[in-house]
Amino acid sequence: MISVKEMRALEINSTALGVPTLLLMENAGRSVKDEIVSRFDVKDKIIYVFVGHGGKGGDGLVASRHLAGEGAKVTVILLGENKHEDALTNLNAIEEMDYSITLIEPREIDELKPVSADVLIDAMLGTGFSGRPREPFRTAIKVFNESKGFKVSIDVPSGINADTGEAYEGEYIKPDLVVTFHDMKVGLLKYNFPTVVKKIGIPIEAEIYAGPGDVMVNIRNRPYYSKKGDNGRILVIGGSYTFSGAPTLAAMAALRTGADLVYVASPEDTAKIIAGYSPDLITIKLQGKNISPSNFEELKSWIDRADAVVIGPGMGLADETVEASKLIVSYLREKNKLAVIDADALKAIRGFELYENAVITPHSGEFRIFFGEEPSKDMRDRINQVVRAAKKCKCTVLIKGFIDIISDGKRFKLNKTGNPGMTVGGSGDTLTGIIATLMAQKIEPFVAAYLGVFINSLAGTLAYNKLGPHLMPTDIINEIPNVINNPLESFKRKVYKRILR
């Protein structure tokens, strides 16, 4: 099954991979024709196609063209103006087919009357529809249902919400056949319509690899009425007497991703250094040279008020810090807090059973330490290994590498938008800040993890294209807005990698 949002992401990803939506529309419309001709000899048969807005209308226009080519007597009833670019391309073709296709454009609703035909095709309201049909579609749906002939709906019957199945009685199409595309739409499960699923040429890679479509459908523009804090409060717990850069990078990446407030909790002297890096950061000055159990009570109140927590960057592995990491992660688990656990904190809690709102982001060495097994060098075996590991620790696992693998134990996703410059220290810290912010903005952990690594890696690639192997993690941070604001154009400039042979 697939949701409307997931299907839209696949279409965009398909375009990014070189299979444009115009080709998908052509395949969809032709598959509708194929299903009809498999049931009827359409030569000289009367076929009416009710065409609405958007891509579904375009699918109907393609089907009309192919059915006319099979010798059917096709009449297209055009309901309103279609502004979909691919549909307009196909409408131009239909307008030129004035010998084989009759085109009717009703000007008034009362011009719509029931017809008698061999086949009727519903190409009116598509998967983007929700609510109650407006005119002229409310009347057109009623007329379609009252017409005589074998009724075919494209993708989802008009008037039905493709995700929920919601529809108003008497205001949705009741077809004899539904031809849906790529995968079953969730809303169709509420009905017993005879349904066939047709593949339309979307590459498997559009689903397996994180792509620009995933960013475009999951990250929305913030509402104008937003107030401070609505878009995420992030707490970064990290830093030590030795390391101050790692938590700073995680925090700066969180801000660039769109968090409203970012707090960095570090040992007192380290926090002062971090505050000096940028006035954008709010530092929490913890007593001691390293984070220790004595800081735990103070940290609890900050954890409680944060929407998502990052723990690990630059913490170090002093004995007191290891004990503090265990206390903090146990509290995060108790609160089921959205959290990204990385670096030294991950090493400190090796073997811990985690929870569904946690994301861990190990590289190969940290994966070996935490799970006690070496990551396979065979990519397909490694994918299965990560799925098993995620199921074992009951959290989302993102193993970083030449190809990033993300799994929550049920699903997996891959990312290959990185480049050789991403070996620079700090690129993993920027990743944790991005993921935490996306989770704080109500994106589920698994999705936030694969979106995060896609954004981080592609930002790194934009920087790499400018600087070559001389980039710094701050260069990655500066490119984050470019990826989020224009993922499709950014993706076109990525480094291509072929790995699964």
86 a known binding residue?
no
Residue 158 marked in a binding site: yes
Provide the pLDDT for residue 67: 98
Q: Is 269 annotated as belonging to a binding site?
A: no
Q: Phi and psi at residue 63, in whole multiples of 5°?
A: -60, -40
Indicate the pTM of the whole model.
Answer: 0.93
> Cα–Cα distance between 236 and 391 in angstroms, integer?
26
Residue 59 among known ligand-binding residues = no
Determine if residue 339 is labeled as part of a ligand binding site.
no
Beta-carbon contacts of 496 under 8 Å, excluding residues fewer than 6 positions away, are none
- Residue 246 among known ligand-binding residues: yes
- Annotated binding residue 314: yes
Q: CA–CA separation, 466 vs 479, rounded Å? A: 11
User: Which sequence spans correspond to the domains of the chain?
Assistant: 4-208, 230-491
258 labelled binding-site residue:
no
CA-CA distances (angstroms) from residue 27 to 19, 21, 180, 437? Answer: 11, 10, 12, 39
Please report the pLDDT score of residue 498 as a whole number.
56
Give me the phi and psi of 75, to 5 degrees please.
-120, 125
What is the spatial order of strands in the sheet that 282-286 belongs to? 282-286, 261-267, 233-237, 308-311, 339-341, 358-360, 396-399, 404-407, 412-415
C-alpha closest to that of 176 among 196, 162, 159: 196
Nearest-angstrom CA–CA distance, 384 and 395: 15
- Say yes or no to pLDDT of 501 above 70: no
Over residues 242-263, mean pLDDT: 96
Which tokens belong to 31?
Answer: 């598959």
Which tens digits make up the pLDDT trace of 386-431?
999 999 999 999 999 989 999 999 999 999 998 888 888 899 999 9
Q: Strand, coil or helix: what is 235?
A: strand
89 carries a ligand binding annotation: no
State yes or no: 130 annotated in a binding site.
Answer: yes
CA dihedral 166, 168, 169, 171 (to 10 degrees): -120
Q: Which amino acid is at 313?
A: P
155 is in an annotated binding site: yes
- 254-299, pLDDT tens digit by residue? 999 999 999 999 999 999 999 998 889 999 999 999 999 999 999 9
CATH classification code of 230-491 = 3.40.1190.20
Is 131 labeled as ligand-binding?
yes
pLDDT for residue 247 is more than 90:
yes
| Residues forming a β-bridge with 179 | 154, 196
CATH classification number, 4-208, choose in 3.40.1190.20, 3.40.50.10260, 3.30.1330.10, 3.40.50.1820: 3.40.50.10260
- Asked if 61 and 47 count as a contact pair (C-beta separation under 8 A), the reply is no
**Residue 251 known to bind ligand:** no
Domains 4-208 and 230-491 share a fold: no
